[in-house]
Structure 1
Amino acid sequence: MFELARKETFKAKVTVQVKTDSGWREEHFIGIFKRVDDDRQRELAEVPYKDVVDEILIGWEMVDLQHKPVEFTPENLAAFKSLPGAARETVIAFMSANSGAKQKKLIEAARWWAGIRQVQPDPWAVDESVLEAMRAFGAPAEDIERAAQLIEDGSKPAEHAAFEVHHDNMRSVRAWLGISTQWQFAGMAGVRVGLNYAGVLAWLQIHVRPRLRRAVMSDIELMERAALQALNEIREAEEQE
């Protein structure tokens, strides 16, 4: 099940060259950015760097030379933008992370659809070490049994878990689900070998506006490759069992 949730911000590392009396010094900070969609990112490519920073940088994790936190204030932001190249490097880091996250999430969505469920492990979950400690310290039998059941349940695939869709990918994921009848199969086992692109293009002509079709089609191609790879991995694992 896909969860069409929206996350408005993300973090990315920014590297800036700071001029000193003896030369240049490389500094880093973590920028907290407002996420934008593809259309707005293309528009921002034509906007001066400092103006882009004003729009997309909404916070940071930064320390000064004494390793004290630098507060994100209008005054500090103005001082930061006055550093040579600071605004440019911030925008470059933002553009790369904003696009990269989108593609990564598309690949993850396709693999999830194919059946590979990679759920982030819970750091507080009960594991074998906890179970061993309970036995060593003489925990009640019913508690040990309950912990063992939790471990067993946690090792099972999350069949009904939801996949959080990157908000910039919602249009493409909806299209992916819409063209799910366009797969081509081969062999007696009915192995998926790729999409019927004539059918995909026909679907896009009906459901997607003309100026968006090229981008959606590119995303579908990316997801197709990721899904086929995931399906191959599943098939190989089954053959080795």
Structure 2
Amino acid sequence: MARAWAGRSQSQGPEEAAEDLRAFGLDAPVLVDPAAHQVLSCCRTTVDVFLTLATQWRRAGQAGIAIGLEYGVIRDTLWLMGLALGRSERAFLFRGLQIMELATLEVWNGNR
């Protein structure tokens, strides 16, 4: 999802989707068309928050190269979105945001 959002035209396929699921600690089920960018219900909040943070990228240098999300705004963003998450839910969300952040940076910075 993050790679598609960052500009990649399509997913790499079921293997990449399964790898992304394993990063969330989930077993990879039989997936529906990964190119359709369907989001598992357990990851919906993470994707929604990531997309809401779309303008909150930290940039460096004169070229303004993206170096990561501005973590300081996440708590306020959750509050503004009306999300009251428990400790384990916040940890899951933050890990998911980092996974999506890294995938986006790979596309933007050509590290893949």
State the TM-score bracket (shorter-chain normalisation): 0.5 to 0.7
Which amino acid is 1:210 matched to? L
State the alpha-carbon separation in 2 of the partners of residues 162 and 202 from structure 1: 31
Match of 1:206 among 80, 87, 98: 80
- TM-score between the two structures when normalised by the length of structure 1: 0.33
Match in the other structure for 2:4: 112
State the alpha-carbon separation in 2 of the partners of residues 173 and 119 from structure 1: 16
SS of corresponding position for 2:49: helix
Is 1:221 equivalent to 2:95 in the alignment?
no
SS of corresponding position for 2:110: helix
Is 1:179 equivalent to 2:53 in the alignment?
yes
The gaps in structure 2 that reach 5 residues or longer are 14-34
State the alpha-carbon separation in 2 of the partners of residues 175 and 115 from structure 1: 18
What is the aligned residue count? Answer: 88
Identical residues among aligned pairs (%) = 33
Are 1:114 and 1:231, in contact at CA under 8 Å, matched by a contact in 2?
yes
Q: CA deviation at 1:192?
A: 0.8
Q: CA deviation at 1:222?
A: 1.2
Which amino acid is 1:197 matched to? Y
Higher relative contact order (Cα pairs below 8 Å, separated by 6+ residues): 2
State the alpha-carbon separation in 2 of the partners of residues 119 and 198 from structure 1: 30
Q: CA deviation at 1:120?
A: 7.4
Match in the other structure for 2:39: 165
Partner deviation per Cα, 1:154-191 (whole Å, 9 max, x = no partner): xxxxxxx8522223211111111111121111222221
* Pair 187,174 (structure 1): closer, same or farther in 2 beyond 3 Å: same
Q: CA deviation at 1:213?
A: 2.1
Are 1:183 and 1:194, in contact at CA under 8 Å, matched by a contact in 2?
yes
Q: What is the Cα-based RMSD across aligned positions, in Å?
A: 2.5
Partner deviation per Cα, 1:80-128 (whole Å, 9 max, x = no partner): xxxxxxxxxxxxxxxxxxxxxxxxxxxxx1111111122579xxxxxxx
Are 1:204 and 1:213, in contact at CA under 8 Å, matched by a contact in 2?
no
Q: How does 1:109-148 map to 2 (within 5 A)?
A: 109-118=1-10
State the alpha-carbon separation in 2 of the partners of residues 120 and 225 from structure 1: 16
* Structure that is richer in strand per residue: 1
Larger radius of gyration: 1
SS of corresponding position for 1:209: coil
Match of 1:188 among 62, 65, 73: 62
The gaps in structure 1 that reach 5 residues or longer are 1-108, 122-160, 237-241
Are 1:182 and 1:200, in contact at CA under 8 Å, matched by a contact in 2?
no
SS of corresponding position for 1:231: helix
Runs of 4+ in 1 over 4 A off after TM superposition: none
Are 1:186 and 1:193, in contact at CA under 8 Å, matched by a contact in 2?
yes
